Amino acid sequence: MSIRRAVYPGTFDPVTNGHVDVIRRALRLFDRLIIAVAANPQKEPFFKLADRESMVRQTVRRIRNVRVITFEGLLVDLVRDQKAVAIVRGLRAVSDFEFEFQMALANRELFTDAESVYLMPSIEYIFVSSTIIKNIAMHGGSVRHFVPAHVERRLTRRLQQGHDGKR
């Protein structure tokens, strides 16, 4: 029997409990999950790539059959290189669907051997996104229920340093 691998790509800026929920759901479907933290030069991430990778690693350190890597370039090249059968994505709302649908069609055109699989998070995380988390934290709100404790500490530390490049 062959091992069924999937890739879960994202910016993870920062990783949230919603991401963790999707990771756990994906592991019910696949033998191995590769979490691919994207460099994504089109976005201006709040955290550096190494920091995002570190936070994801710490978040999943006790979850079996997960590997964390970073990548840049075409996702389908990574999926092919990792011998994955699927790309896992989270869908929170209908507003996510249009973008994800376009990406799935483009990925299918570029690499037909992997399917896009969409998983909805638990209802308690349906509204949670990294952008919302950063916005709450920047305005002094508590993100304790939305991110792992170590991420909350790093976010607080990062905000105290200021978002002016002092990383």
134 is catalytic: no
**Residue 67: beta bridge partners?**
34
Selecting among 92, 116, 129, 150, the annotated active-site residue is: 92
145 is catalytic: no
**Alpha carbons 43 and 11: distance in angstroms, whole number:** 9
166 is catalytic: no
108 is catalytic: no
Contact call for residues 77 and 15 (beta carbons, < 8 A):
no
Selecting among 5, 32, 52, 130, the annotated active-site residue is: 130
Selecting among 5, 19, 134, 158, the annotated active-site residue is: 19
**Alpha carbons 24 and 33: distance in angstroms, whole number:** 10
The 8-class DSSP code of residue 36 comes to E
Q: H or E segment at 79?
A: helix 75-81
- Give catalytic residues, as residue numbers: 19, 43, 92, 130
